[in-house]
Amino acid sequence: MIVLGYNGFSRGAELFGRLYGATGVGRNLLVGHDAAAALVIDGEVVAAVEEERLSRVKKTSDFPAHAITWCLNSVGVDLDQVDVFAFPWRFSSAVAEEMISGICDSDLPVAAKFDALRSTGELYTGMLSPDAVYQDFVERTGHELDPNKLALVPHHLAHLMCGAYLAGGGDAAFLVSDGRAETLSSVMGELRNGVVRQFDESAVPMTSSLGVAFGRITRYLGFVPNNDEYKVMGLAAYGPPPRHNPLLERVVRLHENGSYTISIPRDISAYYALFDELFGGDSEKREQFDFRVKVAGLAQHMVEAVTAHQVRALTAASGLDTLLFEGGLALNCVANTKMLERSPFTGMEVSFGASDPGVAIGAAVYAAGLRNRPADAVTTPYLGPSYDEGQVQDALAEYADRVEWREEPDAASIADRTAELLAGKNVVGWFQGRTEFGPRALGNRSILANPAFPDIKDIINLRVKHREPFRPFAPVILESEAPRVFSMGKKTSSPYMTFVFPVRKEYQERIPGACHVDGTARAQTVNERQNPALARLLRAFTARTDVPCLLNTSFNVAGEPIVCSPRDALECFLATEIDYLIIDRFVITKKGS
């Protein structure tokens, strides 16, 4: 059985911009953001890629035409051969009626209600309805799709199924929390014997979205909502834990059943005024580092308190040992670690597709009727495009007036040469194999450096990434070595950078570049099976330096998608102060450097 999952709307940017003024940073909040496609054949995810990696438009919500084409071409499948097309949104007539009721029952003035109904009606008929989704697919692909082959999967169910499939199945409690789905923003429940049971009494409407609340504070601090929340998380570590939190006192109400209510105005000027009142801020203070640290700490504490409240209720209701956490909020690795360590759960899984790219996988998995992942199915984040030696050489020839290169004879030689470069203070672009799926660079499209140098973070932030100096970098380490360097608590591995761990004291001075200001690190563990090239490099580097890990950050500059092709990598290399670029077995330098 062949199932294609995809996420994205052709008219999203146009309709949200015209009807709701969602332009500029507001475009990151569009339904369908992080457009992607994924292909499942006979129970195995064989290809998946975000549209942004191919179109080079970050966080695009557009119909993923490039991603769909690549997924099909990568395995030689035509649209005619696909059995089911799975879409991770289901705005049914019942959902539409709920949207209408929400407007009619609101406290908006009558005229504003009519305006809202008109906008919602145009959005529904022009983009969200099952008919609109079908027409969008037909118009963008030119394929006369049998309507019975289009499966509309509820958004939160798609999130859950991505996590459940990648975790390998088995009974688990689940929590899904993000900005919004069709009408809800967070759901919890249990997965037993492949059957999903949602605890409806604990569901949270999108009007009380924790993800949106965190995003509004992100915007208040001058960052981009639905994109830069991880910056707020990182900034929070620069201050002590708050002794009291006005957000929990004035904005959030927790309910016994595990749900909550969050009351923040929708209008930007109104919620800026509220935050100024709560935090003692103004336009001048918002530019001050100490004030921003304080607010970030309060926002992070709010996320941790609310999710802990949900986990307590979920533990009591399910009685299961394992927790699956999916949705955009599952990228908050600081909260994830506290959720696990402070709960009775013995295990917790957060997938590499936890945020919205993953719903393309989840929708396909659900439409394929997979209760459990087949035993022989390979689970890997390396699902995107790869490039053969001829394609790499063609790209190098295109830039021959600006770069020069040398080809190493084999995989061991390229690992040794790269380890030699990293032993010094060189910053290296590392491009190997298939592109990772999801928001994290997991060692195939990465910028690597030596964490033994205390100032290496500043070098990369300022000279390479062109980003804020307070931002930390993640270390990547062999799975077998990780417990020696990090206090990992209940975790034995962390292959997707979804948890943080204290760096053991005896290593904090040895790898200062990998330590955040609070002594923690968002570590990625890797083994030979998951990524043989990266594991080989780590062994060669540690043998040469006695440093147990490398710094690993995404191969891009601020505001750009992670590189995908050799040409993307060369463009980024030449636009930054990256010292060396490794593509497969080619060691590349800038002419005249």
Q: Which residues pair with 86 in a beta bridge?
A: 5, 151
Angle (deg, nearest 10), helices 210-220 and 229-236: 80
Asked, for residue 569, whether it belongs to a domain, the answer is yes
What per-residue confidence (pLDDT) applies to 370?
A: 81
Judge if 344 and 402 occupy the same domain.
no
**Shared domain check, 92 and 180:** no
> Does residue 265 lie within any of the structural domains?
yes
In a domain, 74, yes or no: yes
Both 148 and 191 in a single domain? no
Phi first, then psi: give them for residue 430, nearest 5 degrees: -120, 115
In a shared domain, residues 428 and 313? no
Residue 160 lies in a domain: no
Q: What tokens appear for 492 in the block?
A: 């034995």
Q: Which of 288, 321, 349 delimits the end of a domain?
A: 349
Max CA distance (Å), the chain: 74
pLDDT tens sequence across 389-425? 999 999 999 999 999 999 999 999 999 999 999 999 9
Looking at every residue in the chain, the average pLDDT score rounds to 95
Query: Which residues, in sequence order, are CB contacts of 438 under 8 Å at separation 6+?
Result: 351, 352, 353, 354, 355, 357, 358, 381, 496
Q: State whether 576 and 455 are in the same domain.
A: yes
pLDDT at position 349 is 98
Is the pLDDT score of 16 beyond 90? no
Q: Give percent of the chain with pLDDT exceeding 70.
A: 98
Task: Tell me if 145 is assigned to some domain.
Answer: yes
Distances (CA, A) of 147 to 80, 138, 144, 184: 13, 10, 9, 27
Q: How far apart are CA 380 and CA 391, in angstroms?
A: 24
What does the pLDDT read at residue 27? Answer: 59
Note the pLDDT tens digit of each residue in 544-572.
999 999 999 999 998 899 999 999 999 99
Q: What is the mean pLDDT of residues 158-165?
A: 97
Strand (E) or helix (H) holding 18: helix 12-20
Confidence category of residue 430, pLDDT binned at 50, 70, 90? very high
266 and 209 part of one domain: yes
pLDDT in tens, 494-531: 999 999 999 999 999 999 999 999 999 999 999 999 99
Residue 28 has a pLDDT of: 56
Where among 119, 152, 185 does a domain terminate?
A: 152
CATH number of the domain encompassing residue 33? 3.30.420.40
pLDDT tens, 438-483?
999 999 999 999 999 999 999 998 888 888 888 889 999 999 999 9
pLDDT at 359 over 90: yes
Task: Please report which helix (H) or strand (E) contains residue 404, including its range.
Answer: strand 403-407
Question: Tell me, what's the pLDDT at 465?
Answer: 83
DSSP 345-378: -SEEE--TT-STTHHHHHHHHHHTT-SS--TT--
pLDDT band, very low/low/confident/very high, at 161 (cuts 50, 70, 90): very high
In a domain, 380, yes or no: no
Radius of gyration of the chain measured on its C-alpha atoms: 23
CATH code (residue 527) = 3.90.870.20
Query: Are 61 and 185 in the same domain?
Result: no
One domain, residues 142 and 270 = no
pLDDT value for 29: 62
- Are 398 and 497 part of one and the same domain? yes
Within 8 A by CB and 6+ apart from 424, the residues are: 450
Instruction: Pull the structure tokens for residue 421.
Output: 């470069």
Range of the domain at 532: 389-590
Q: What pLDDT is recorded for position 468?
A: 85
Q: Do 139 and 207 reside in the same domain of the chain?
A: no
Whether residue 191 is found in the same domain as residue 330: yes
Same domain assignment for residues 141 and 173: no
The answer to whether residue 58 is domain-embedded is yes
User: Is residue 366 in some structural domain?
Assistant: no
Residue 575: CB atoms within 10 Å: 12
**CA distances (Å), origin 226, targets 179, 204, 380:** 8, 19, 25
Q: What is the mean pLDDT of residues 527-546?
A: 98
- Residue 575: band (very low, low, confident or very high) from pLDDT cuts 50, 70, 90: very high
Can you tell me the distance from the alpha carbon of 481 to that of 429, in angstroms, rounded to the nearest whole number?
24
Q: Exposure string (b/e) for 239-267, b if CB count within 10 Å is 16 or more?
A: beebeebbbbeebbebeeebbbebebeee
Q: Is the pLDDT reported for residue 378 higher than 80?
A: no
Query: Where does a domain end: 320, 349, 378?
Result: 349
Per residue in 17-74, pLDDT (tens digit) is 888 877 665 655 678 899 999 999 999 999 999 999 999 999 999 999 999 999 999 9
Average pLDDT of the residues in 213-225: 96
If one counts the domains in the chain, the total is 3
